[in-house]
Amino acid sequence: MTECWSTVNAYMEISVFVGEDEIYMLLDPTGELPDNSKLHFSTMAIVSSIMPTSVDPSSSGVYVFHNTSKIFGNNANQLPTYLRLSTSSRRHAKLRLAASISKVPLKLTREEKHQDHVASPEKGHDVFEEIKHRFLTFKKDKYMDNLERFQSLAKSQSPKFMVIACADSRVCPSEILGFQPGEAFTVRNIANIVPTYESGPSETKAALEFAVNSLQVENILVVGHSRCGGIRALMTMDDDETEEDIDSRSFIKNWVVIGKPARSISKSAASELSFDQQCQHCEKESVNCSLQNLLSYPWIEERVNKGTLTIHGGYYDFTECTFEKWTVVYKERSCIERKLAVKDRSIWS
């Protein structure tokens, strides 16, 4: 027998959702729990089939689900599981269940479950009330609907993509490209810059090493975007300003100076255009420079040459909601001459 219990001195909210084939029980403590109890209450219990639910009056607040296949782990296989709650929680309205719920044909829609359990934050609450609301909505509507998937991800990850994107709050790769948990190992920095193998800060390099050598991703996608503040900072630097000239206290300039080759190309190619248009040109050119820099890493170039790794560029224009994508064609001479060949360029609009 597996017993999950807590000596909580506060109320606990319990929501039970019964479908045709499953029972969902959500434990939501409203007070601070002891450390040794948080693990129990951070997980949703799923009962594989609808069986009678009973209350043992001799035990305070004990609810029994018979023939449980999985609850708080795998060690409760086909054994009765008892969930012991604090005495005060017995008085909660949601605990007043019938002696048998297997006869109740309850099928809640996603909208009904949302309205029943996840209450919208009231006006005047602090910002974390809204964040809590979003988390509980995610847990109920996404985590529980894909429980096996999330349990598998808890053991390991094997993403096919590494995404390098800007830290801009308007650019969220998982939102605009639909990446789900476990699908993309993501790095975000100012102006989506990739330093060369030989120089530059090591944070992005460490992420590249882990993604390519340990996770063995099959694709690297560098995503630039419109109205990038980092690129604008790069474009406003003096033409003759070098890394040695930059004030060591200016972290932004010390970082974006890595993109000076893209700046030079844009200044030359778009010299007759307005400053805003030059910035837009550089936003795309900086992606190409980052792609070129990726090939300076020997273990990336080796995999690209073998065909086990492909690198791509992307540009998200959030003013028009379009996405441009292209793929690098590996040529050894291109690496030496630092000229990038691309294919499969397309615009999604």
Determine the Cα–Cα distance for residues 172 and 168; give it in Å rounded to an integer: 8
**Beta pairing class for 161-166 and 184-189:** parallel
Structure tokens at 309: 């790794």
Q: Establish whether 166 is an annotated binding residue.
A: yes
How much is the CA Rg of the chain, to the nearest whole Å? 27
Q: Establish whether 228 is an annotated binding residue.
A: yes
Helical H segments across 273-345, by residue range: 275-294, 298-306, 332-337
Which H/E stretch holds residue 233? helix 229-235
**Beta pairing class for 45-47 and 53-55:** unpaired
Q: Establish whether 28 is an annotated binding residue.
A: no
Q: Could you tell me if 265 and 225 are in contact, meaning their C-beta atoms sit under 8 angstroms apart?
A: no
CA distances from 42 to 32, 38, 39, 100, 276 (A): 13, 6, 5, 27, 49
Dmax over CA atoms of the chain, in Å, equals: 85
Task: Detail the residues annotated as belonging to a binding site.
Answer: 166, 168, 225, 228
Task: Detail the residues annotated as belonging to a binding site for Zn(2+).
Answer: 166, 168, 225, 228
